[in-house]
Chains A and B, each alone.
Chain A
Amino acid sequence: MSADEIGRAVAQLLFEAGAIHVSCGQPFILAAGWASPVYVDCRVLLGDPERRRAVTDLALARLTEDFPAGAIDAIAGAETAGIPFAAWLADRTGLKLRYVRKGPLGIGRNAQVEGGPVEGLKVLLMDDLTTDGGSKLAFARGLRAAGATVEHILTIFYHGVFPGTEDRLREAGLTLHALSTWADVLDADAGDRLAPADRAEVERFLEDPVAWSTWHGGRNTLAPRL
Protein backbone atom coordinates (compact mmCIF):
# COMPACT_ATOMS: atom_id res chain seq x y z
CA MET A 1 0.00 0.00 0.00
CA SER A 2 1.47 3.38 -0.98
CA ALA A 3 1.76 6.37 1.36
CA ASP A 4 -0.96 8.13 -0.68
CA GLU A 5 -3.31 5.19 -0.35
CA ILE A 6 -2.64 5.03 3.38
CA GLY A 7 -3.29 8.78 3.61
CA ARG A 8 -6.66 8.56 1.92
CA ALA A 9 -7.65 5.51 3.97
CA VAL A 10 -6.78 7.26 7.24
CA ALA A 11 -8.62 10.40 6.13
CA GLN A 12 -11.65 8.28 5.36
CA LEU A 13 -11.52 6.75 8.85
CA LEU A 14 -11.24 10.22 10.36
CA PHE A 15 -14.36 11.33 8.51
CA GLU A 16 -16.27 8.20 9.49
CA ALA A 17 -15.27 8.61 13.13
CA GLY A 18 -16.41 12.25 13.18
CA ALA A 19 -12.90 13.51 13.83
CA ILE A 20 -13.01 16.37 11.32
CA HIS A 21 -14.62 19.45 12.84
CA VAL A 22 -15.39 22.56 10.82
CA SER A 23 -16.54 25.83 12.34
CA CYS A 24 -16.64 28.69 9.89
CA GLY A 25 -18.36 31.27 12.09
CA GLN A 26 -16.32 30.71 15.25
CA PRO A 27 -12.71 29.84 14.40
CA PHE A 28 -10.67 27.55 16.59
CA ILE A 29 -7.42 28.65 18.16
CA LEU A 30 -5.06 25.70 17.83
CA ALA A 31 -2.58 24.95 20.60
CA ALA A 32 0.24 26.78 18.83
CA GLY A 33 -1.91 29.90 18.42
CA TRP A 34 -3.01 29.56 14.81
CA ALA A 35 -6.64 30.36 14.08
CA SER A 36 -8.26 27.70 11.94
CA PRO A 37 -11.77 26.90 10.65
CA VAL A 38 -11.07 23.22 11.21
CA TYR A 39 -9.55 20.86 13.67
CA VAL A 40 -8.97 17.16 13.73
CA ASP A 41 -9.73 15.21 16.89
CA CYS A 42 -7.93 11.89 16.47
CA ARG A 43 -8.94 10.93 20.00
CA VAL A 44 -12.39 9.89 18.81
CA LEU A 45 -10.65 6.90 17.22
CA LEU A 46 -9.59 5.66 20.65
CA GLY A 47 -13.05 4.52 21.66
CA ASP A 48 -13.89 2.90 18.35
CA PRO A 49 -12.44 -0.65 18.28
CA GLU A 50 -12.92 -1.23 14.57
CA ARG A 51 -11.46 2.08 13.39
CA ARG A 52 -8.59 2.19 15.85
CA ARG A 53 -7.62 -1.30 14.69
CA ALA A 54 -7.79 -0.10 11.10
CA VAL A 55 -5.63 2.95 11.87
CA THR A 56 -3.12 0.74 13.66
CA ASP A 57 -3.02 -1.56 10.63
CA LEU A 58 -2.32 1.44 8.40
CA ALA A 59 0.35 2.74 10.79
CA LEU A 60 1.97 -0.67 10.72
CA ALA A 61 1.91 -0.68 6.91
CA ARG A 62 3.56 2.75 6.86
CA LEU A 63 6.12 1.69 9.45
CA THR A 64 7.02 -1.40 7.47
CA GLU A 65 7.34 0.67 4.29
CA ASP A 66 9.43 3.46 5.82
CA PHE A 67 11.75 1.57 8.17
CA PRO A 68 13.94 -1.46 7.59
CA ALA A 69 13.92 -4.16 10.25
CA GLY A 70 16.02 -3.16 13.23
CA ALA A 71 15.78 0.58 12.54
CA ILE A 72 13.66 1.15 15.64
CA ASP A 73 14.01 -0.33 19.10
CA ALA A 74 11.10 1.35 20.84
CA ILE A 75 8.00 3.46 20.22
CA ALA A 76 7.39 6.37 22.57
CA GLY A 77 3.87 7.75 22.82
CA ALA A 78 3.58 11.49 23.38
CA GLU A 79 1.45 12.56 26.32
CA THR A 80 -1.48 12.19 26.14
CA ALA A 81 -3.19 11.09 22.94
CA GLY A 82 -0.03 9.63 21.43
CA ILE A 83 0.23 7.03 24.18
CA PRO A 84 -2.61 4.66 23.21
CA PHE A 85 -1.72 4.76 19.51
CA ALA A 86 1.90 4.01 20.39
CA ALA A 87 0.81 1.17 22.67
CA TRP A 88 -1.26 -0.51 19.95
CA LEU A 89 1.53 -0.15 17.41
CA ALA A 90 4.16 -1.41 19.84
CA ASP A 91 1.95 -4.37 20.64
CA ARG A 92 1.53 -5.17 16.95
CA THR A 93 5.24 -4.84 16.15
CA GLY A 94 6.60 -6.39 19.33
CA LEU A 95 8.72 -3.27 19.90
CA LYS A 96 9.36 -1.78 23.32
CA LEU A 97 6.93 0.89 24.51
CA ARG A 98 7.69 4.09 26.39
CA TYR A 99 5.84 7.32 26.91
CA VAL A 100 7.10 10.85 27.16
CA ARG A 101 5.55 13.64 29.20
CA LYS A 102 5.20 17.22 28.02
CA GLY A 103 7.83 18.06 30.59
CA PRO A 104 9.42 16.64 33.71
CA LEU A 105 7.09 16.79 36.70
CA GLY A 106 9.51 18.91 38.70
CA ILE A 107 9.04 16.76 41.79
CA GLY A 108 9.93 13.22 42.83
CA ARG A 109 12.03 11.41 40.22
CA ASN A 110 11.47 14.33 37.87
CA ALA A 111 11.27 11.90 34.98
CA GLN A 112 9.96 12.90 31.57
CA VAL A 113 10.15 9.42 30.03
CA GLU A 114 8.30 6.47 31.54
CA GLY A 115 8.10 2.75 30.84
CA GLY A 116 11.77 1.95 31.25
CA PRO A 117 15.14 3.32 30.19
CA VAL A 118 15.68 4.63 26.67
CA GLU A 119 19.41 5.13 26.86
CA GLY A 120 21.01 3.76 23.70
CA LEU A 121 17.66 2.96 22.08
CA LYS A 122 16.52 4.14 18.66
CA VAL A 123 13.11 5.55 19.51
CA LEU A 124 10.23 6.43 17.20
CA LEU A 125 8.14 9.26 18.68
CA MET A 126 4.42 8.78 18.07
CA ASP A 127 1.66 11.34 18.46
CA ASP A 128 -1.85 11.81 17.19
CA LEU A 129 -1.45 15.23 15.61
CA THR A 130 1.22 17.61 14.33
CA THR A 131 0.42 21.27 13.76
CA ASP A 132 3.66 23.24 13.53
CA GLY A 133 5.95 20.77 15.24
CA GLY A 134 6.61 22.79 18.40
CA SER A 135 5.47 20.13 20.86
CA LYS A 136 7.28 17.40 18.90
CA LEU A 137 10.55 19.24 19.39
CA ALA A 138 9.93 19.32 23.14
CA PHE A 139 9.11 15.60 23.28
CA ALA A 140 12.20 14.75 21.23
CA ARG A 141 14.35 16.88 23.53
CA GLY A 142 13.00 14.99 26.53
CA LEU A 143 13.71 11.61 24.98
CA ARG A 144 17.19 12.67 23.89
CA ALA A 145 17.94 14.06 27.34
CA ALA A 146 17.15 10.57 28.66
CA GLY A 147 19.68 9.07 26.25
CA ALA A 148 17.52 7.99 23.32
CA THR A 149 18.35 8.45 19.67
CA VAL A 150 15.31 10.12 18.12
CA GLU A 151 15.25 10.80 14.40
CA HIS A 152 11.69 10.01 13.35
CA ILE A 153 8.16 11.01 14.30
CA LEU A 154 4.98 9.22 13.28
CA THR A 155 1.66 11.04 13.51
CA ILE A 156 -1.86 10.07 12.55
CA PHE A 157 -2.57 13.51 11.11
CA TYR A 158 -0.33 16.38 10.06
CA HIS A 159 -1.82 19.72 9.09
CA GLY A 160 0.99 20.22 6.59
CA VAL A 161 0.00 23.81 5.94
CA PHE A 162 1.91 26.00 8.37
CA PRO A 163 5.14 27.07 6.64
CA GLY A 164 8.46 26.16 8.16
CA THR A 165 7.26 23.13 10.13
CA GLU A 166 9.28 20.50 8.31
CA ASP A 167 12.33 22.80 8.19
CA ARG A 168 12.19 23.26 11.98
CA LEU A 169 11.98 19.53 12.47
CA ARG A 170 14.74 18.85 9.94
CA GLU A 171 17.03 21.35 11.66
CA ALA A 172 16.46 19.36 14.85
CA GLY A 173 17.39 16.14 13.07
CA LEU A 174 13.80 14.89 12.89
CA THR A 175 11.83 13.44 9.98
CA LEU A 176 8.07 13.48 10.12
CA HIS A 177 6.08 10.49 8.84
CA ALA A 178 2.43 11.52 8.68
CA LEU A 179 -0.24 8.96 7.95
CA SER A 180 -2.56 11.67 6.57
CA THR A 181 -2.68 15.38 5.81
CA TRP A 182 -5.24 17.94 4.67
CA ALA A 183 -4.50 16.95 1.08
CA ASP A 184 -5.68 13.42 1.92
CA VAL A 185 -8.76 14.73 3.69
CA LEU A 186 -9.79 16.79 0.68
CA ASP A 187 -9.15 13.80 -1.60
CA ALA A 188 -11.11 11.38 0.57
CA ASP A 189 -14.76 10.63 0.03
CA ALA A 190 -16.39 12.79 2.70
CA GLY A 191 -19.92 11.93 1.60
CA ASP A 192 -22.24 14.41 3.26
CA ARG A 193 -19.87 14.93 6.18
CA LEU A 194 -18.34 18.05 4.65
CA ALA A 195 -20.87 20.60 3.43
CA PRO A 196 -19.92 22.51 0.25
CA ALA A 197 -19.68 25.80 2.20
CA ASP A 198 -17.41 24.18 4.78
CA ARG A 199 -15.22 22.67 2.08
CA ALA A 200 -14.93 26.07 0.42
CA GLU A 201 -13.88 27.66 3.73
CA VAL A 202 -11.33 24.90 4.36
CA GLU A 203 -9.92 25.47 0.87
CA ARG A 204 -9.70 29.24 1.53
CA PHE A 205 -7.83 28.49 4.76
CA LEU A 206 -5.48 26.06 3.05
CA GLU A 207 -4.64 28.57 0.31
CA ASP A 208 -2.99 30.83 2.88
CA PRO A 209 -3.25 29.59 6.47
CA VAL A 210 -1.12 32.39 7.92
CA ALA A 211 -3.29 35.09 6.32
CA TRP A 212 -6.46 33.26 7.36
CA SER A 213 -5.17 32.99 10.93
CA THR A 214 -4.18 36.65 11.03
CA TRP A 215 -7.53 37.77 9.67
CA HIS A 216 -9.40 35.68 12.26
CA GLY A 217 -7.49 36.81 15.34
CA GLY A 218 -4.93 34.03 15.55
CA ARG A 219 -1.19 33.92 15.37
CA ASN A 220 0.20 35.97 12.54
CA THR A 221 3.89 35.20 12.40
CA LEU A 222 6.00 32.19 11.58
CA ALA A 223 8.47 32.88 14.36
CA PRO A 224 7.63 31.49 17.80
CA ARG A 225 5.54 33.96 19.74
CA LEU A 226 6.65 32.79 23.13
Chain B
Amino acid sequence: MKELLDWLRLQKGALLTYREFQRRGLALLADHPEQAALARLLVDLAGRFADAYDGEPLAINVAEQALGRLTEFVEMAERTKAAPPEERLALLNKIGAAELA
Protein backbone atom coordinates (compact mmCIF):
# COMPACT_ATOMS: atom_id res chain seq x y z
CA MET B 1 0.00 0.00 0.00
CA LYS B 2 2.89 2.33 0.79
CA GLU B 3 4.33 1.74 -2.69
CA LEU B 4 0.94 2.49 -4.27
CA LEU B 5 0.70 5.67 -2.22
CA ASP B 6 4.19 6.82 -3.16
CA TRP B 7 3.40 6.30 -6.84
CA LEU B 8 0.02 8.05 -6.57
CA ARG B 9 1.61 11.11 -4.98
CA LEU B 10 3.69 11.59 -8.14
CA GLN B 11 0.68 11.58 -10.46
CA LYS B 12 -1.23 14.51 -11.95
CA GLY B 13 -4.55 12.71 -12.07
CA ALA B 14 -5.18 12.17 -15.75
CA LEU B 15 -7.54 9.36 -16.70
CA LEU B 16 -4.61 7.08 -17.40
CA THR B 17 -3.58 7.49 -13.76
CA TYR B 18 -6.79 5.75 -12.68
CA ARG B 19 -6.38 2.95 -15.21
CA GLU B 20 -2.84 2.37 -14.00
CA PHE B 21 -4.03 2.63 -10.40
CA GLN B 22 -6.47 -0.20 -11.16
CA ARG B 23 -3.66 -2.34 -12.55
CA ARG B 24 -1.42 -1.68 -9.56
CA GLY B 25 -4.29 -2.22 -7.12
CA LEU B 26 -5.08 -5.61 -8.65
CA ALA B 27 -1.43 -6.58 -8.36
CA LEU B 28 -1.54 -5.54 -4.70
CA LEU B 29 -4.67 -7.62 -4.23
CA ALA B 30 -2.96 -10.67 -5.68
CA ASP B 31 0.26 -10.22 -3.70
CA HIS B 32 -1.34 -9.26 -0.36
CA PRO B 33 -4.54 -11.22 0.19
CA GLU B 34 -4.82 -9.78 3.70
CA GLN B 35 -5.52 -6.42 2.03
CA ALA B 36 -7.77 -7.81 -0.72
CA ALA B 37 -11.02 -6.12 0.37
CA LEU B 38 -9.35 -2.74 0.65
CA ALA B 39 -7.54 -3.12 -2.66
CA ARG B 40 -10.72 -4.27 -4.42
CA LEU B 41 -12.72 -1.30 -3.15
CA LEU B 42 -10.00 1.16 -4.14
CA VAL B 43 -9.71 -0.42 -7.59
CA ASP B 44 -13.48 -0.21 -8.06
CA LEU B 45 -13.54 3.39 -6.87
CA ALA B 46 -10.85 4.41 -9.36
CA GLY B 47 -12.50 2.34 -12.10
CA ARG B 48 -15.91 3.99 -11.66
CA PHE B 49 -14.29 7.40 -11.99
CA ALA B 50 -12.30 6.38 -15.08
CA ASP B 51 -15.41 4.89 -16.68
CA ALA B 52 -17.43 8.02 -15.96
CA TYR B 53 -14.91 10.19 -17.80
CA ASP B 54 -14.02 7.67 -20.47
CA GLY B 55 -13.36 9.45 -23.74
CA GLU B 56 -13.72 12.88 -22.18
CA PRO B 57 -11.18 15.31 -20.86
CA LEU B 58 -11.34 16.26 -17.24
CA ALA B 59 -11.77 19.83 -16.11
CA ILE B 60 -8.68 20.59 -14.08
CA ASN B 61 -10.62 21.22 -10.86
CA VAL B 62 -12.37 17.84 -11.16
CA ALA B 63 -9.02 16.15 -11.79
CA GLU B 64 -7.44 17.80 -8.74
CA GLN B 65 -10.38 16.99 -6.48
CA ALA B 66 -10.56 13.34 -7.56
CA LEU B 67 -6.84 12.78 -7.18
CA GLY B 68 -6.93 14.43 -3.75
CA ARG B 69 -9.75 12.16 -2.58
CA LEU B 70 -8.15 9.00 -3.90
CA THR B 71 -4.82 9.92 -2.31
CA GLU B 72 -6.58 10.61 0.97
CA PHE B 73 -8.21 7.16 0.93
CA VAL B 74 -4.93 5.43 0.19
CA GLU B 75 -3.26 7.42 3.00
CA MET B 76 -6.03 6.28 5.37
CA ALA B 77 -5.57 2.71 4.18
CA GLU B 78 -1.87 2.90 4.90
CA ARG B 79 -2.44 4.48 8.33
CA THR B 80 -5.02 1.90 9.44
CA LYS B 81 -3.05 -1.16 8.37
CA ALA B 82 -2.41 -2.10 11.98
CA ALA B 83 -5.54 -0.48 13.43
CA PRO B 84 -8.26 -2.40 15.33
CA PRO B 85 -10.73 -4.36 13.14
CA GLU B 86 -13.60 -1.90 13.81
CA GLU B 87 -11.52 0.99 12.49
CA ARG B 88 -10.50 -0.95 9.40
CA LEU B 89 -14.10 -1.99 8.77
CA ALA B 90 -15.21 1.63 9.09
CA LEU B 91 -12.67 2.60 6.43
CA LEU B 92 -13.87 -0.18 4.12
CA ASN B 93 -17.43 1.10 4.46
CA LYS B 94 -16.31 4.67 3.86
CA ILE B 95 -14.50 3.75 0.65
CA GLY B 96 -17.37 1.48 -0.40
CA ALA B 97 -19.78 4.41 -0.19
CA ALA B 98 -17.48 6.99 -1.79
CA GLU B 99 -17.16 8.45 -5.27
CA LEU B 100 -14.25 10.52 -6.52
CA ALA B 101 -16.39 13.14 -8.24
Asked if A226 lies at the interface with its beta carbon under 8 angstroms from chain B, I say yes
- For B24, the closest partner residue in chain A by CB is A226
Interface with B: A29-37, A64-72, A114-122, which one?
A29-37
B14 and A31 within 8 A (CB)? yes
Contacts of A110 in B (CB 8 A): none
- A26 contacts B61, C-beta separation under 8 Å: yes
Q: Is A218's CB within 8 Å of the partner chain B?
A: yes
Q: Which of A2-54 contact B (CB under 8 A)?
A: 23, 26-36, 39, 41, 43
B19 touches A216 (CB 8 A): no
Give the docked Cα–Cα distance between A33 and B60 (Å).
10
Kindly state whether residue A102 has any CB partner on chain B within 8 Å: yes
- Find out whether the CB atom of B58 lies under 8 angstroms from the CB atom of A29: yes
Contacts of B26 in A (CB 8 A): 106
Nearest CB of chain A from residue B96's CB, rounded to whole Å = 20
- A31-B61 contact given A41-B56, A80-B55, CB 8 Å threshold: no
Q: Which one, A29, A32, A39, A226, contacts B63 given CB within 8 A?
A: A29
**B13 CB contacts on chain A under 8 angstroms:** 29
CB distance from A49 to the nearest CB of B (A): 21
B57 within 8 A of A: yes
Give chain B nearest CB distance to A133 CB in angstroms.
Answer: 12
Chain B residues with a Cβ under 8 A of chain A: 10-17, 19-20, 26, 54-61, 63-64
